[in-house]
Structure 1
Amino acid sequence: MSEYLITFLGIYFLCLFKFIAGPLLGSAAGFSLWEIVFVTVSGMMTSVGLFSFLGEWFRKNWGVIRRKKPNRFSKKNRNIIRVWQKFGVWGIAFLTPVVLTPIGGTVVLTSFGIPKRKILVSMLISALFWATAFGLSIEQLLEIPFFKNLWL
């Protein structure tokens, strides 16, 4: 396997769990904007697809795995409900790459009973938007002295 393919697959697998890894590592690897967007969106949409189709099973069987009863009124749950009430599916999808993880946002939407097609479409649009925005601005963000010193 070529070095490029190994790098691409490594970034892809990280994007399954953390969206921001795509633009950061893609930029560090010297990828073009289109490569950054492609690897980031494909990683996020793979996890969104898997968890939207496995979400029903995950939600039903999660109680068996969990030992401690979760706190229903945690600060995080209240914030998610507040976003859901104000903005609905699009609000959760818009915040997923930035605040939630691709898996977390998908599980939230699945738990609200949103149809799989709507989850996939809203998450795809959100992923395309954020991957392009981060891909275009990552070079400028890395020029901030605080972040520049982290790479040295």
Structure 2
Amino acid sequence: MTEREPARGPEQRKQDVLDRLEKDEDVWVATASADGVPCLVPLSFVWDRGTLLLATRRTNPTAVNVTPSGQVRLTLGHTRDVVLIEGEAQIVEGADLPAASGDAFAEKLRWDLRGRAAWVYLRITPYTVKAWREENELAGRDLMLDGTWLV
């Protein structure tokens, strides 16, 4: 029988999410094409000014898929420690990226794409954040709704 940790309170869950957003380097990104074909890829990211900043080639399905609606779903963690984020993506050209954002991306990920025409940045603004570990945390998993933290 597996011993389960006690459920975390909402404040601790939010802090754990913010810690992961600061420290983790990769996130699973789910998009869908205009005709509904799903695409799931891992991308590196930096937590920047309350948004996730990612990069991909402008011709990759992820960049192409976010153009019509901007909707995207992201996940951090494994199946026993999930952070699920739904948000709106905007494509940002390297030349239009604020210097501080580009510097933060390059410093954390040791990868600077500014000035590389084949690449674009995706700035994801979260509107829903959920986090849970086990069944005992399902009831309180909503941490952000409509872009506002609940705790």
TM-score of Structure 1 vs Structure 2, range by shorter chain? under 0.3
Structure number having the greater strand percentage: 2
TM-score, normalised via structure 2 length: 0.24
* Bigger radius of gyration: 1
Higher share in helix: 1
Structure number with the bigger relative contact order (C-alpha 8 A, sep ≥ 6) is 1
